[in-house]
Chain A
Amino acid sequence: MLNHLKMGDTLPEYIERLELLAFFAGYPLVYSIMHFIAGARGRPTGPFWNRTIKLLPVAYALTGTLFLGLVLKDIKAGAALRPTDLSFHISFLQIWGIVAVLFWIPLLAKKPVYSLAHSLIFFSLLLKDILMGLGSVSGRDIVKNDMKIYAVSFLLNLISLGIIIIFYFFLAQISARKK
């Protein structure tokens, strides 16, 4: 992994960047695939796909919550190592990642495009690595590693969406029974 460090990156900064990529970089692809499936020509857009599109920001909020859990775990681990030092480091990009939790708020969740805009910041990190990695062997190694993380991120966001869909399906079933 040390070989993949960029000029100016420390190991913790590099790991932090990989974590952000792992959680959020795959969301734009999930988002656009779902929209493509829902809005494909000749396909009647059914209630399931309409519902799925609406649930995308909620799934994104779930991913953000998982990321928040990871950040809190890191802070707790750091505090255990240095019990007398109550300070902790958190970067702007981490705060930006945690902001994804706000998509639990229904008002924000109504605008799926906001969640896309939020995640494109992280996708741009990947894009930057791809563009900068063209010229060198070490750059290609970075891209290779990023693409593995990107694949994991895509799966994570897909699973988050799946969990949310199942959760809302059961919620709808329970509501229907009550009525």
Chain B
Amino acid sequence: MKLFSNNTLLVILVLISGYGYVIGCTHENLPPPAPASNTPVIVHGSDILLPGEMTKGDTTQWKLDKVHSSVLWSGSYIGAAGLLTGRFNQFGMHDVKDPEKTYYVTKAQPLMDTSWAFYENAPERTYFNGYVQINTSNTGEPGRDTGCNITNLGTIKIISGSQNLTDSNLAQIHSTKVEFDTQSQDYIVTFNLTWKGLLSAPLTQSIVGRLKYIKKAVVGAGTTAPYSVFGLQLNFQFDCRDFGITSTSISDKIDIECNMNFNNK
């Protein structure tokens, strides 16, 4: 190395290398990424689902598929971890007016399940009515279902071959407002729950619940008789003490889940 000494070369190399390490190891404060949006992406379709007159074979008219539907209830045991659960064997989606509150000698639905309408993208037009027959509560224990449950709920035993839609055996819901839930695909429903319980007369109470729409789908596609189905699921809670129900073993809060399935067969 005649042009410059080895020492000079070493100094240059060390300086360049050191500078490289300084540049490579210097971290600038990068601006943090923008936070993810907390607003859920909610897209409502435009399905309009109406019962019409439930004319068989009319695919524009939606029929309650009671066999595949259910109304479930559950309450907590006081001082124990388990739940007491049951279902109502008889229920419907009819706005039962006073003249209709009577006995019906039939095993089928006593009234048309036509008191509802569902507009996926226009909740203000959506409404529904429903009822259960209290004495058809089924906890899986016949001794309880036909015994203490009957007296504790202020009704009478099932009369074979007939359906009891009288005031003392009827709990009804009647929607008053349906609106979009801003945090999910669901709907927030305000409705009146009317039940006599152990009171002297039926009590109507306003309750807020959550309605879920299980989107319309085709069943049996590719077969000779395909048809469509959809579901509505309503969840709510009420205080059974408000209706005069007293118990030393069951807590006051009762959860209800209504799973209503419909088809257009």
Residue ranges of A at the interface with B (Cβ–Cβ < 8 Å): 28-29, 31-33, 35-36, 39, 113, 116, 123, 126-127, 130, 133-134, 137, 140, 143-148, 150
Contact B10 A146 (CB under 8 A): no
B101 to chain A, nearest CB (A): 74
For residue B221, CB closer than 8 A to chain A, the reply is no
Chain B, 137-153, CB within 8 A of any chain A CB: none
Bound-state CA distance A113–B9 (Å) is 12
Stretch at the interface among B18-26, B89-97, B188-196, B256-264: B18-26
Query: Which of B1, B14, B24, B26 sits near A146, CB closer than 8 Å?
Result: B24
Contact A39 B6 (CB under 8 A): yes
> Per a CB cutoff under 8 Å, which of A28, A33, A39, A144 touches B24?
A144
Within B18-54, the residues touching A (CB, 8 Å) are: 19-21, 23-26, 28, 30
Contact with A along B72-100 (1 / 0, CB 8 A): 00000000000000000000000000000
Task: Compute how far the CA of A32 lies from the CA of B148 in the bound complex, rounded to whole angstroms.
Answer: 100
Q: From B7, B23, B25, name the one whose CB has the most chain A CB atoms within 10 angstroms.
A: B23
**A146–B14 CA distance with the chains assembled, in angstroms:** 15
The 8 Å CB contact of A130, one of B9, B20, B28, is B20
Q: Which DSSP category, helix, strand, loop or mixed, fits chain B's interface?
A: helix
- Which residues of B sit under 8 angstroms from A147, Cβ to Cβ? 17, 20-21, 24-25
B214 lies within 8 A of chain A by Cβ: no
Whether A35 pairs with B6 at a CB distance below 8 angstroms is yes
Chain A proximity of B78: nearest CB distance (Å): 62
Closest-by-CB residue of B relative to A40 is B7
Closest to B25 in A: A144
Decide: B10 and A36 in contact? CB cutoff 8 A. yes
**In the bound complex, do residue A32 and residue B20 qualify as a contact, i.e. CB atoms below 8 Å apart?**
no
Q: A35-B6, A126-B20, A150-B20 are in contact. Are A29 and B13 (CB under 8 A)?
A: yes
Which residue of the partner chain A has the closest CB to B30? Answer: A137
B16 at the interface (CB under 8 A from A): yes
A to B CB contacts below 8 Å, 19 in the list: A29-B13, A29-B14, A29-B17, A32-B7, A32-B10, A33-B10, A35-B1, A35-B10, A36-B10, A39-B7, A113-B1, A116-B1, A123-B13, A137-B30, A140-B23, A143-B20, A147-B20, A147-B24, A150-B20
Cross-chain contact B24 with A127 (CB below 8 angstroms): no
Q: For B1, what are the chain A residues with a Cβ–Cβ distance below 8 Å?
A: 35, 113, 116
B194: shortest Cβ distance to chain A, in Å? Answer: 66
A133 near B7: Cβ-Cβ < 8 Å? no
CA of A29 to CA of B23, assembled, Å: 19
Question: How far apart are the CA atoms of A145 and B25 in the complex, in Å?
Answer: 10
Neighbouring B residues of A33 by C-beta, 8 Å: 10
B256 shortest CB reach to chain A, Å: 56
CB neighbours (8 Å) of B14 from chain A are 29
Q: Is the beta-carbon distance between B16 and A130 smaller than 8 angstroms?
A: yes
B16 proximity list for chain A (CB < 8 A): 126-127, 130
Q: Are B13 and A143 in contact (CB under 8 A)?
A: no
Give Cα A148–Cα B28 distance, bound, in whole angstroms. Answer: 19
Contacts of B23 in A (CB 8 A): 130, 133-134, 140, 143-144
A39 to B28, CA, bound (A): 41
Contacts of A145 in B (CB 8 A): 24
**Which residues on the B side are within 8 Å of A143 (C-beta)?**
20, 23-24
